[in-house]
Amino acid sequence: MDEVAALSSRWPAVVWDAAVLRGIDARARAEIEASGRLRKMVPGEIVYRPGQPADALYVVVEGACVLSAVRRGEAEASRIRRAVRGEIFGEEATVVSFGVRQMEAQCDEAGTIAEVPLTVLRRAIGRAGGGEIATRLERSLKRAATLDLLRTTSFTRTLPERDIEILLDSLRHVEVARGEHVYREGDVADAAFLVADGLLQAQSEDDGKPRVEAYLARGDLFGDDELDDRSVRRVAVVASGPTWLVAVPRDVFLVVARRNASALEGVRRVRAHGLAPPLRGGGARTTAHVFQDLYRMRVARSLLVIDQDSCVRCGHCAWSCASAHDDGISRLVRRGDKIVVQREEELAPRAGEDVVARVVRLAKEVEWAPLLVPNSCQHCKNPSCMIDCPTGAIGRDARGEVFIREDLCTGCGSCAKACPWDNIQIAPRSETKGKGPKSPFPEVAVKCDLCAGSVAGPACVASCPTQAIARIDPNEALVELRSVPRATVLGRAVLGSTPAGLLPRRLPAWPWVSGAALAALGLALTSLSVWTSGILTGAVVVLLVAYAGVKRSTRLLARIPRSTSLGRVLYIAHLAVGMVALGATLAHTHGGAPGNVAGALALAMTLALGTGLFGGVVQAVLPPRLARLERGSVLPEELAARRRELDERIFTQLSGRSEVVKTLYGRVLRPYRASRFGSMLLVASGRRLRDEEKRVRAALGGLLDGRRSERLDGLDELVRLVVEHRAVGALRILTFALRGWLPVHLAAMGTALVLLVAHVVAVMVRK
């Protein structure tokens, strides 16, 4: 014990004299010193910023640090407090498991701070058991963290210190899991709530379905409106994700509120009377899934998205992900939610234009992007998988990227169960990288690691030939989220000026292809010798064939810095070289095809170049048409099964319906569904699914002559199903056009390569 006590003398006594650390035993001090550090600070140096992982607290040894934050309802950061010698800051890390910083800590005077790792401190508290030290530590840390919270809220920032002390003495902490209710409609109102961390939604009932009235985030006050008249709750509040609340008892809140009536004005997020227009996410051209699962977008630090207007459905992203990992397992599954978001920044408001008029104008003028959010780790700011891992195998680095230590993973599956979006897989363990003893556990958790160690970044992004895939921070990239929940009107955020940009700008292909086409024309019209044109044609054929191998070389991709997508560069180069190959072939053959190997080679080259040109055109034209007809994510190989599934659902939906619905189905919907050329007509029309549904409903409305009744229950769902049934047929047509040319192209190129070798051999023999 003397040896342990001697170790703890390395840190100044002022650290251990701090109120919340006083009384920790010598062993705990030694552990904290071994894993923590003393940091020398200079004025202006940042200790941590908002959004960084909250995994430590700090004691000021010398100097001072200033904590600042953007208070709820304000645009600029304000000073919250100044920590001087012997004081602790960063206590919020001890309250919310694996949360993120909500404040900025900056050195104000040159000095030293002690960094106390949170995990080690928790272990010390746990070893203290249920004794006085553990109780005092927990109470002190929560009180300090709550005091900082109160100083950042709109309600308490103007309160006198005595009222803040009253709130601190009476409040209680409430932790609410994702999907749980804080309270329901009709519950007795016995407390007001402040959101300490997390995201909630206030909702009411609309024809038996929940209707979102407001979103509640850190610093928001709610639940106080019914306290004064002792009425019951008029709306329900549900946690969108793990949430930490501070509950203030009714009597205490009313005493403080009546003494500070002006402080309540403008800070309530939910009013029981005269609720604001609902925040809907399912209307036309709205970001449906963004608002339905706002918590997911809020906690995601690196969200993988695929622009369906550009994606050619080649599957190269999943293939490259599997190739980039030694176990051959893709961390990307091309299934997930489809959302529609703004592609660029909202247009600036016009003089004298009110909010409603602006929203109507935006619906007509703003460009929208359909995005697929596939199953792939989004490196959450509050990772549930990390909390539930029993061995500590899941960690998070200084940049916030979540990783798995495979040597510590037992494959128990707790993380996979904890992830709300199924972004973690349990897979057979690969021993190819292991240098130590073989693990006794045959399975291991795998997920996206952002291709750590690769200068090119994620392989899926680097290899995409159309730059349709990207990693984004949704809170920065998605225009709709940049001010949610500060102000939202009719389901669409009202925004200030922030940098635009959803996906990286795509490298254009047309300048290079056009230039190559002009070069090809020049070659075709130039009188080159047979040897010169032959050597040139042979060289470009080799380059064209080499593309297939180079684009699949993940080791090459990993060495190229991420200035742009190498997959896109290679794709454009392949198109340009193909155009040059066409000109070189014409220059060599002069448009003829003799009846020998040379003629066969010319025909094979013509077929290969023709199918390649066709493929380039359809890959530029068809993806947006596909996106219009896709309701969700269905892989091309699943389309046949999807149609059979829809047949079964239509039959189930008809069962038990009224005779009116069955008659309408027989007269309109069944012929629509069975139409032999219906899918081709839908492709030719270019209509979106919702536009086609409107057209079908209009046809039904003509038969009904405007009459509506409860006997039509289930008709809207039948319309949706039969339209999707026709759309699946259209998707099969478009998918075949998008991919069907490729086998012919590859076969023609392979044949051309073989014939080229035979032609060269024949020429050399004749010579």
Give residue-wise pLDDT tens across range 441-490: 899 999 999 988 777 788 888 888 999 999 988 877 776 665 554 333 22
Q: What is the pLDDT of residue 577?
A: 92
Per-residue pLDDT at 554: 65
As a whole number of angstroms, the longest Cα–Cα distance in the chain is 107
Using the predicted structure, report yes or no on whether residue 201 has a pLDDT greater than 50: yes
Q: Which of 256-265, 315-324, 394-403, 447-456 has the lowest mean pLDDT?
A: 256-265
Q: Please tell me the predicted confidence (pLDDT) of residue 213.
A: 75
pLDDT at 34: 84
Choose among 343, 590, 645, 326: nearest CA to 470.
Answer: 343
435 pLDDT higher than 90: no
Residue 279 has pLDDT above 70, yes or no: no
User: For 53-71, how does the pLDDT look when each residue is reduced to its tens digit (9 = 90+)?
Assistant: 788 889 999 999 999 987 7
pLDDT above 70 covers a percentage of the chain that reads 80
Residue 571, class by beta-carbon neighbours within 10 Å (0-12 exposed, 13-18 middle, 19+ buried)?
buried
DSSP 148-174: HHHHHSTTTTTS-HHHHHHHHHH-EEE
User: Which two three-digit tokens encode residue 195?
Assistant: 């959101």
Question: In this structure, are residues 477 and 378 in contact, taking their beta carbons and an 8 Å threshold?
Answer: no
pLDDT of residue 85: 94
- On whether the CB atoms of residues 296 and 377 are closer than 8 A, the answer is no
Above 60 in pLDDT, residue 427?
yes
The residue to which tokens 């247009």 are assigned: 347
Tokens of 502: 């959803």
Average pLDDT, the chain: 80
Using CA atoms, how far residue 205 sits from 184, 235, 278, 286, in Å, is 11, 8, 11, 21
| Banded model confidence at residue 154, pLDDT cuts 50, 70, 90 | low
pLDDT in tens, 517-562: 999 999 888 888 888 888 888 898 888 888 888 877 766 666 666 5
pLDDT band at residue 206 using 50, 70 and 90 as cut-offs: low
Q: Residue 734 to residues 234, 443, 621, 640: CA-CA distances in angstroms? A: 50, 40, 10, 14
Highest mean pLDDT among 64-68, 393-397, 708-712: 64-68
Identify the three-state secondary structure at position 285: coil
CA distance 234 to 187: 8
CB within 8 Å of 632: residues ≥ 6 apart: 337, 338
Domains and CATH numbers, the chain: 2-151 (2.60.120.10), 161-264 (2.60.120.10), 288-493 (3.30.70.20), 510-628+742-766 (no CATH), 634-740 (no CATH)
Model pLDDT for residues 126-138, shown as the tens digit of each residue: 665 545 655 666 6
Q: In this model, does residue 125 exceed pLDDT 80? A: no
Phi, psi of 325 (to 5 degrees): -115, 140
**Residue 752 belongs to what H/E stretch?**
helix 741-766
- pLDDT above 60: residue 2: no
Q: How much is the pLDDT for 97?
A: 56
Which secondary structure element, helix H or strand E, spans residue 648, and what is its range?
helix 639-654
Chain centre to alpha carbon of residue 503 = 12
* pLDDT number for residue 293: 67
Number of Cβ within 10 Å of residue 691's Cβ equals 13
pLDDT of residue 44 exceeding 90: yes
pTM comes to 0.73
Alpha carbons 391 and 337: distance in angstroms, whole number: 32
**Strand partners of residue 426:** 445
Q: Across the strands, what pairs with 260?
A: none
